[in-house]
Amino acid sequence: MITPKESVDALIEHFWKYGYLTLSRKYGTYLPAPQKVGNYEIDAVAKYKQKLALGISLTEEDLNNPESISKISFLASKDANNPGKKVTLFVGVPAESVAKAKIIISGFEETVKKNIKVVPLNRGN
């Protein structure tokens, strides 16, 4: 079982892989924890040029929770401070749950789906 800190660490590694600079993260030593977006807690915020990315990590149980599904939809449809510029949402899930997460996301509107990247979170990723 992967711990919450390990899942955030793996999420940050995916940010780096895509060239993003981490602005805030949960369980960090040097960076502040991210503020809530709406009523939802997020695990990390990153930036690449003018593009903003939010990161959340979900467990298998979270994927079965309707509240998590509305959280994904809300965060992926969020504007980045200026209207018209969408935020990229990185959704970290356990490697064995990637297919399930993609099925859930396939039910969203096209404009929301294109803002979501599902990333597998493994220990030692």
Q: What is the CATH number for 106?
A: 3.40.1350
pTM across the whole model: 0.89
pLDDT at 22: 93
Task: Give me Rg for the CA atoms of the chain.
Answer: 13
**What band does 119 get if pLDDT is binned at 50, 70 and 90?**
very high
> Whose CA is closest to 68, among 96, 91, 45?
91
Rounded to an integer, the average pLDDT of 6-31 is 91
Q: Are 36 and 75 in contact (CB under 8 A)?
A: no
Average pLDDT over every residue of 21-30: 91
pLDDT for residue 26: 93
Short-list 65, 23, 17, CA closest to 40: 65
Q: Is the pLDDT of residue 84 over 70?
A: no
**Residue numbers of the domain that contains 95:** 4-121
Structural domain count of the chain: 1
